């Protein structure tokens, strides 16, 4: 089979998932690459025709060992017709648990035919300079592995006679999936003394939980703790003050220091 077009479909609040998908696409080396960014609510308003003969790379971060609920709902708006797909999750150096299996099964239900998958490492949402958790990842080594993975995907697809070829992508995980982490009604807060009310935090929020008037207001019940607002704030005005969130970050910093490497599936290595 010849790959004529690649479509990247992703939910990526802090940009790490997008970076991995772009690197995989670079390895596949096809000129026609289209982004379908479902991170912000505005991205879901675009009418996307059903996928057919392109190759689709689908990616999402891992939250508590599972896919984010908002990513699932936005992915479910997509439809495919036996379209070849690569499923990717990105996690913060703890564990991806059932998330990749969940994404594979979700993609099958939408009409995709997953031929390969991967679990890559990205800087944890809760990471800061003072409390590092896989800071700076995906780094140059991760990017190179993603590019090599893309080249291997291209080789596998090129060897196929058609998209109807029977495939059985084995992904680790348990079904029924393990329960998600306990729900917490908490959000970052704004240090008003250094906030310039520039609106960056609101512009990157995947759930439109943040609004800007004379100051910054957050609807705590809408916050998914992705920390996009914290990482994007140009003055460092968005922070966590909640003691439980600080405890979680400290635990991750202490117990997830050993570097983990990307894991790939569906490719003979």
pLDDT tens, residue by residue, 212-260: 999 999 999 999 999 999 999 999 999 999 999 999 999 999 999 999 9
80 DSSP 8-state letter: B
Look up the CATH superfamily of 6-176+258-265: Flavodoxin domain (3.40.50.360)
**Which range is most confident: 168-177, 179-188, 195-204?**
195-204
pLDDT > 90? residue 268 = no
Contacts of 48 (CB under 8 A, 6+ apart): 36, 77, 78
Report the CATH fold assignment for 189-241: Alpha-Beta Plaits (3.30.70)
**Percentage of residues in the chain with pLDDT exceeding 90?**
89
pLDDT > 70? residue 104 = yes
Contacts of 161 (CB under 8 A, 6+ apart): 1
pLDDT tens, residue by residue, 128-137: 999 999 999 9
pLDDT given for residue 181 in this prediction: 61
Tokens of 268: 């003979």
pLDDT > 80? residue 269 = no
Query: What does the pLDDT average to over 10-17?
Result: 98
Q: How far is CA 261 from CA 31, 88, 199, in A?
A: 28, 14, 36
pLDDT > 90? residue 164 = no
pLDDT given for residue 184 in this prediction: 83
pLDDT given for residue 166 in this prediction: 59
pLDDT given for residue 24 in this prediction: 98
Q: Assess whether the region 6-176+258-265 and the region 189-241 belong to the same CATH fold.
A: no
pLDDT > 70? residue 16 = yes
Spatial distance between the Cα atoms of 58 and 21, rounded to a whole number of angstroms: 8
pLDDT, averaged across the chain: 94
pLDDT given for residue 27 in this prediction: 98
pLDDT > 80? residue 179 = no
Query: What does the pLDDT average to over 163-175?
Result: 81
pLDDT tens, residue by residue, 30-87: 999 999 999 999 888 888 889 988 999 999 999 999 999 999 999 999 999 999 999 9
pLDDT given for residue 73 in this prediction: 96
Q: Percentage helix, strand, coil, to 5, in the chain?
A: 30, 20, 50
Q: Domain limits of the chain?
A: 6-176+258-265, 189-241
3-class state of residue 190 by DSSP: strand
Full-model pTM: 0.96
pLDDT given for residue 161 in this prediction: 74
What phi, psi does 70 have (nearest 5°)?
A: -70, -35
């Amino acid at each position: 089979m010849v790959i004529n077009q690649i479509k990247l479909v992703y939910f990526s609040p802090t940009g790490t998932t997008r970076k991995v998908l772009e690197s995989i696409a670079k390895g596949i080396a096809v000129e026609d690459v289209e982004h379908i960014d479902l991170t912000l609510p505005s991205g879901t308003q675009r009418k996307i025709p059903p996928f057919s003969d392109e190759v689709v790379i689908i990616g999402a971060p891992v939250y508590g060992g599972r896919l984010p609920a908002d990513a699932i709902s936005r992915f479910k708006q997509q439809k495919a017709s036996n379209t070849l797909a690569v499923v990717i999750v990105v996690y913060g150096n703890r564990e991806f648990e059932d998330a990749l299996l969940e994404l594979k099964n979700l993609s099958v239900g939408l009409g995709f035919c997953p031929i390969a998958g991967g679990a890559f490492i990205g800087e944890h949402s809760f990471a800061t300079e003072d409390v590092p958790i896989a800071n700076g990842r995906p780094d140059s080594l991760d990017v190179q592995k993603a590019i090599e993975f893309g080249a291997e995907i291209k080789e596998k697809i090129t060897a196929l006679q058609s998209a109807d070829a029977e495939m059985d992508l084995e992904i680790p995980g348990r079904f029924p999936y393990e329960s998600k982490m306990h729900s917490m009604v908490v959000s970052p807060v704004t240090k008003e003394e250094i906030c310039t009310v520039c609106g960056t935090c609101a512009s990157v929020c995947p759930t439109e939980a943040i609004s800007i008037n004379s100051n910054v207001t957050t609807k705590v019940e809408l916050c998914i703790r992705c920390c996009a607002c914290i990482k994007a704030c140009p003055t460092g005005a968005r922070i966590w003050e909640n003691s439980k969130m600080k405890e979680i970050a400290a635990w991750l910093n202490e117990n997830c220091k050993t570097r983990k490497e990307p894991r790939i599936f569906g490719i003979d290595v």
